[in-house]
Structure 1
Amino acid sequence: MKKPKILLIYTGGTIGMVKDADSGVLTAFDFDSLLERIPELRLLDCIIDTISFDEPIDSSNMNTESWENMAGIIEINYNDYDGFVVLHGSDTMSYSASVLSFMLEYLMKPVIFTGSQLPIGDLRTDAKENLITSIQLASLYEDDMPVIREVCLYFEYKLYRGNRTTKINAEHFEAFDSPNFPTLAESGVHLKINHEFLRKETFTEQLIVRTQLDTNIGVLKLFPGISEPLVKAILNTEGLRGLVIETYGSGNATTEDWFINLLSEAIKNGLYIINVTQCSGGSVIMGKYATSSQLKRIGVISGKDITTEAAVAKLMYLLGYNISHEEFQSYFEKSLRGELT
C-alpha cells in the first residue's frame, strides 16, 4: 500500500512558536523546516506536507472567516491527501473542532485538531508528542479505509471526538476533557484505538463543505439573583436569532413569572432557545423537575448532553439554512455528527 499523505494545516497558536535559546523571545515556527526541527517525524510511515494561514492568528481571534479558511483548505486538498492535522491554539479549539464537524458533510477522512500548552522549542514542551501522535493517528488505515473518519481533537495522550470536548485547564498538559463521551484512542507504549466508539458511517456522496453560518446568537449563563433587565436586554438584542441558556443541573431554571414570560414571548417571536447544563458532565432532561417543566412547555429546545461549544456550533450551522421551526427543533435534538447521545 502507498504511504498515506497527511496535510498539516497551521492556523496559529502556541504550538507554532519556538523560543530563542539566548533571548527567550518567542518567534513563529517555519513549517517548511518541520523535519529538521522534529526529525522523529521521519520515523512515521507517511508523507507530510504543510500549509499555513497567510496570517496565523491567536485562537482568541477565531471567527467564521477562519473556519471557512480551514474548511476551504481541506476541500481543495481533499482528494490529494489521506488525512488532515490542524494546528490550532487551545483556547477555542473545541469551538473550531465542533464547527468543522458540522461544516464537513459526508467526511470520510480524519481531521485531527491539536496544539500545545508550551511552544515547540521549549525544553518541556508537549507540542512534539501531540503533533507526532496526531499525524500517526491520521495515517491509520485498515482494509484500504481510514480508521478515523471524523473531526477529532488530540491532546496529552488522548484522542477525543472534536464536538464532545471542552477545555478544562489553562495550565496542565491535560487541557481537555470529553465529559459525556469516551475517548476514541489513548497513546501509551502502544496506540489503543477504541473502535467501538468511532463513527463508522460510509458515504457514497462527495464531501460537501457547508459555509452558511449565522453568528446572530448568544449565550446566557444563569446564576442565582439574575435580574430581569439583564435577561430582557439580551433577548432584545437586535438581530438575535438563537440563544444558548446554560441552566442548572439537569436543565433547571428559575420559575419566576418574569423569566418564563420573557422566554415565552421571545420564542413566540421566532427566537430559538437551547437548554444546556452548566455542569461539566451530564444531560439536560427537561420535565424531570418542576423547575424545568415550564421551559419544556413554552418550547425551549433540549440540548441533552451537548457541550456549550457544540451547541454554539450547531446553532450557527442550523440557522444558516432556511428550515421550519419544527424541522429546526427535530434536527437540534438528534445527533448529526455524534455531538449528542
Structure 2
Amino acid sequence: MTDFAPSVLLIYTGGTIGMIENPETGALESFNFDHLLNFVPELKRFNYHINTYSFDPPIDSSDMEPYHWARLARIVERNYEQYDGFVILHGTDTMAYTASALSFMLENLSKPVVLTGSQLPMGMLRTDGKENLITAIEIAAAKHPDGTAMVPEVCIYFERDLMRGNRTTKINAEKFNAFKSYNYPCLGHSAIDIKIKPERIRRPDASRPLKAHYLFDTNVVVLTLFPGIQESIITSVFNIKGLKAVVMKTFGSGNAPQKPWFIKLIKEAAERNIIIINITQCQSGSVEMERYETGRQLLEAGVISGYDSTPECALTKLMFLLGHDLPPEEVRRLMNTNLAGEITLE
C-alpha cells in the first residue's frame, strides 16, 4: 500500500452472514462482497484499505473440508505482505474447526486472522452480522505503537468476545452468543471500547517468517463413550480400514469403563499404532488420567492425554500431524506439546 492506513483482506467463504433477502421471492441469497460497502456503509468511516475475496460459489459451513482450509491458508500466505490483517467470514457450524486447523497451518503467524459470522443474515434488520464484521475488521487492523499487530493469532470474534480460535467451540444454535472458550480466558471484549488483554496473547518469534502448511490426513474418528456401550461397537471402530487415530471422549477427568474387554481392545489398537487421544466430555476442565484408577488403566494401555483440548482442536490437530507423515511416536509427542496455545500443560 502507498500510505500508512491499515489494510485488511476480507475473505468470504459462505455462511449466514453473507445472505440477504430477495425482495421478490423472500429467499435468502448470497450477495456480492465486491459491493460490501453498499451493504455496510459504516465501513466507509474507517480509514482502512479493505479488499475482498469471495469463494465462488460460497459454501455452507457444513460442507467445509480440509481442502478449503488449505485454500484459506494459501490466500493468507499469498497476500501476507500486502495486508496488516485478515478477516474470514464463515458459517458458524464449523467455524471452530476451521479456526483450530488454521492455528496449526499458519506457523509463526504475526498478523491477525479473525474469523467471524452471524446468526442472522446481514440483510435482516436485527442482524448481528454488522457488529461482528465491523469489530472483527477493527481488531484485524489494530496495532501497537511500534507497528506490531495487537492480536497476532487465529481467533474468533463473536458477540463482543474475542477468543483464541483453537480454544473455541460453538455452544448455541439460536442465541447471538454462539461461541465460548471454556478453558482459556477471552483475548478481549468489545463494549464502548475494544479491550484487548495483551497478557493473554501469544507472541510470535519475530526472527521467523510465516510458514504455511497444507497437509491433512482424515483417517481419524471421534468415539464418545456412554454407559452401556457395547464391545461390538468399540471393536468396529478400532477396526475401521485405514484408521490412524481416535479422539476418545471419556467421562469426567478422563475416566472410562474398567471392563477387561474394553482395556484389551485399547491395548490392541495402541499396539497397532492407532493413536488414541483422551479428552473429556465435560465442556470445561482437563483430562487427568493419573487421578483415578480408571484413568491410569487407560494410560497404561497406551492412551495419551488430550489435556483441556476442545474436540474440534483435538481432531484437527491430529489430522494436521498425521498429514505430515510423522511416525506415531512423534505424533503422540506433539499431541502432548502446546504448539499454538491450544492446551494447558501446567
TM-score (ref. length: structure 1): 0.98
Query: Equivalent residue for 2:128?
Result: 126
Counterpart code for 1:4: P
1:316 is the counterpart of 2:316 = no
Q: Is the 8 A contact 2:244 2:273 kept in 1?
A: yes
CA root-mean-square deviation: 1.0
1:230 is the counterpart of 2:242 = no
Distance 1:186 1:21 in 2: 35
Counterpart code for 1:87: L
Distance 1:43 1:185 in 2: 23
1:266 is the counterpart of 2:265 = no
**1:25: how far off?**
1.4
Query: Equivalent residue for 1:326?
Result: 329
Match among 52, 55, 77 for residue 50 of structure 1: 52
Match among 193, 197, 201 for residue 194 of structure 1: 197
**1:22: how far off?**
4.9
**1:132: how far off?**
0.2
* SS of alignment partner, residue 315 of structure 2: helix
Distance 2:57 2:26 in 1: 23
1:141 is the counterpart of 2:143 = yes
Q: Is the 8 A contact 2:106 2:212 kept in 1?
A: yes
Match among 83, 90, 109 for residue 81 of structure 1: 83
Counterpart code for 2:77: E
* SS of alignment partner, residue 264 of structure 1: helix
Query: Equivalent residue for 1:337?
Result: 340
Encode CA deviations 1:284-332: one digit per residue, 9 max, x unaligned. Answer: 0012011111001111010000000000011001112233333222211
Identity %: 52
Query: Equivalent residue for 1:62?
Result: 64
Query: Equivalent residue for 1:32?
Result: 34
* SS of alignment partner, residue 80 of structure 1: coil
Query: Equivalent residue for 1:249?
Result: 252
Q: Is the 8 A contact 2:17 2:120 kept in 1?
A: yes
Encode CA deviations 1:181-213: one digit per residue, 9 max, x unaligned. Answer: 000010001111111101112232221111111
**1:33: how far off?**
1.0
Counterpart code for 2:33: F
Counterpart code for 2:258: T
* SS of alignment partner, residue 153 of structure 1: strand
Counterpart code for 2:110: M
**1:57: how far off?**
0.4
Q: What residue ranges of structure 2 are gaps of 5+ in the alignment? A: none
Query: Equivalent residue for 1:155?
Result: 158
Encode CA deviations 1:101-145: one digit per residue, 9 max, x unaligned. Answer: 001111111000000000001011000000000000000011111
Query: Equivalent residue for 1:12?
Result: 14
**1:26: how far off?**
0.7
Distance 2:47 2:70 in 1: 30
Q: What residue ranges of structure 1 are gaps of 5+ in the alignment? A: none
Query: Equivalent residue for 2:295?
Result: 292
Q: Which moved more, 1:313-322 or 1:256-265?
A: 313-322
TM-score (ref. length: structure 2): 0.97
Distance 1:63 1:257 in 2: 38
**1:75: how far off?**
1.0
Post-superposition, which runs of at least 4 consecutive aligned residues in structure 1 deviate over 6 A? none
Distance 1:31 1:311 in 2: 33
Match among 202, 206, 209 for residue 206 of structure 1: 209
Encode CA deviations 1:41-99: one digit per residue, 9 max, x unaligned. Answer: 01123110000012210000010111111111111111111100000000000000000
Q: How many residues align?
A: 341
Distance 2:23 2:250 in 1: 48
